[in-house]
Amino acid sequence: MSQVALGEIEKHFWLTRSVSRCMGISMTEAMAEGRLSPEKYAELVTRCRAAGCDVQCEFWLARQQGTATTAPDFCPNAEILNGLKT
């Protein structure tokens, strides 16, 4: 059984939160409204940690000048984040 190297939890917590914020999504509000469980939020961060796209994500975040309509295609959490956007 192989193990996946995970990135730093704090970095990926902030990347996940930053992408959602660029999309106009408040993770705090999504959890308060019952649209996102704390466990699912933790899964989003873990998925981000395992994806290996943090540099690409940082570049995407740096280019955002308005509210993004969708998560970046390379994002392992795109489907969930896009679902929270609607």
In angstroms, the first-to-last Cα distance of the chain is: 38
Instruction: Please give the pLDDT value at position 3.
Output: 56
Domain that holds residue 65: 9-85
Instruction: Please give the pLDDT value at position 2.
Output: 52
Counting the structural domains of the chain, the total is: 1
Instruction: Please give the pLDDT value at position 14.
Output: 96
DSSP assignments along 19-40, one per residue: HHHHTT--HHHHHHTTSS-HHH
* Cα angle: 66, vertex 68, 73; to 5 degrees: 145
Polymer length in residues for the chain? 86
Residue range 17-70, pLDDT digits in tens:
999 999 999 999 999 999 999 999 999 999 999 999 999 999 999 999 999 999
Is 4 domain-assigned? no
Is 21 domain-assigned? yes
Measured in whole angstroms, the distance separating CA 26 from the mean position of its chain's CA atoms is 11
Is 1 domain-assigned? no
pTM for this model (two decimals): 0.89
